[in-house]
């Protein structure tokens, strides 16, 4: 059976009741694995590379609190973290030599992942959108080292990419020692077969088939061939999601995209033509 999940939902203020309503709205739309803590990580890192020791600390307690709240409400959750290399790359773009600071950051990630496991989390989403960029070799080498270290935390990890094809990083991303990979098939539908050919047989593959950026609903029926093929090849290792986080979508639009994902999963699991909801 394929699984419906979401990469991120519109930002909200620190309002527990509103947060709970947003989780429930996603669940009612058909999302089975809810993103938690996803609103805390974006557009908030102006000084990240100069003070890594405090970067995660400012976000982790709210993340842990949200996870506990969602679990208490009976939701299956998937906490969201920005990947350490994507986090550091932001400083690299500003001309700072950030890769050397990686060793200071990794213990914080390891601690965070272990604490999430203690809270009962099974899956965590780690956003690494820079895997869709042309990376220097030193950064590619760092990916292998980072995830060999982080794999020790006792929970499953989904690497989420977006905004295009993996290109020259396809083999790297497919073979990282994690449990799943999300790819964007809206902006880069051509990478579908290449990723399938390189993906290890134990990994989940999440397909971003619903456009997370455009307001247009899309033609779900056109996706039938891809869905059938993916389900035949992957079975329970097939997850479906929007192509990217819905963080910047209006609330109603975000809910509608979640319903589209839910409709696709229902269709592939029951072998019916997907019906927009």
> Tens digits of per-residue pLDDT, 242-253?
999 999 999 999
Comparing 78-92, 102-116, 137-151, 249-263, which segment has the lowest mean pLDDT? 78-92
Q: Write the burial class of residue 266 (CB in 10 Å: 0-12 exposed, 13-18 middle, 19+ buried).
A: middle
Structural domain count of the chain: 1
Q: Per the domain annotation, does 84 fall within a domain?
A: yes
Q: Per the domain annotation, does 254 fall within a domain?
A: yes
Q: Per the domain annotation, does 104 fall within a domain?
A: yes
Please report which helix (H) or strand (E) contains residue 127, including its range.
strand 123-127
The mean pLDDT of the chain is 89
Q: Per the domain annotation, does 276 fall within a domain?
A: no
Is this model's pTM higher than 0.75 or not?
Answer: yes
Q: Per the domain annotation, does 277 fall within a domain?
A: no
**Domain harbouring 199, CATH code:** 3.20.20.210
- Give mean pLDDT, residues 28-51: 72
Reported confidence tier of residue 47, pLDDT bands at 50, 70, 90: very low
- For 190, the domain range is 3-270
Residue 220 has pLDDT above 80, yes or no: no
- Give mean pLDDT, residues 178-204: 96
Comparing 11-15, 66-70, 188-192, which segment has the lowest mean pLDDT? 11-15
Q: Per the domain annotation, does 152 fall within a domain?
A: yes
Comparing 11-20, 108-117, 266-275, which segment has the lowest mean pLDDT? 266-275
Q: Per the domain annotation, does 275 fall within a domain?
A: no
224-234 vs 251-270: helix crossing angle, rounded to 10: 60
Residue 167 has pLDDT above 70, yes or no: yes
- Non-local (6+) Cβ contacts of 200 within 8 A are 174, 175
Q: Per the domain annotation, does 169 fall within a domain?
A: yes
102-118 vs 137-150: helix crossing angle, rounded to 10: 30
């Amino acid at each position: 059976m394929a699984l419906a999940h979401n990469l991120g939902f519109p930002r909200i203020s620190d309002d527990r009741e509103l947060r709970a309503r947003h989780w429930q709205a996603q669940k009612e739309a058909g999302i089975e694995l809810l993103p938690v803590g996803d609103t805390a990580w974006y557009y908030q890192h102006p000084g990240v590379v100069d003070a890594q020791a405090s970067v995660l600390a400012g976000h982790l307690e709210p993340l842990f609190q949200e996870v506990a709240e969602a679990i208490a409400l009976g939701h299956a959750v998937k906490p969201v973290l920005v990947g350490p290399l994507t986090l550091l790359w932001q400083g690299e773009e500003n001309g700072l030599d950030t890769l050397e600071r990686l060793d200071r950051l990794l213990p914080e990630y390891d601690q965070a992942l272990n604490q999430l496991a203690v809270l009962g989390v099974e899956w965590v989403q780690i956003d690494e959108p820079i895997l869709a960029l042309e990376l220097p070799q030193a950064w590619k080498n760092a990916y292998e080292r980072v995830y060999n270290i982080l794999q020790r935390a006792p929970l499953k990890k989904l690497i989420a990419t977006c905004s295009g094809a993996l290109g020259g990083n396809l083999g790297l991303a497919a073979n990282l020692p994690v449990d799943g990979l999300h790819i964007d098939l809206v902006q880069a539908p051509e990478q579908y077969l290449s990723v399938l050919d390189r993906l290890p047989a134990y990994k989940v593959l999440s397909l971003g088939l619903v456009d997370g950026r455009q307001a247009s609903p899309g033609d779900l029926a056109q996706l039938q061939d891809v869905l059938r093929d993916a389900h035949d090849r992957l079975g329970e290792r097939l997850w479906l999601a929007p192509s990217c986080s819905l963080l910047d979508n209006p609330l109603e639009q975000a809910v509608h995209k979640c319903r589209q994902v839910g409709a696709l999963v229902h269709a592939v699991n029951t072998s019916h033509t997907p019906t927009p909801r």
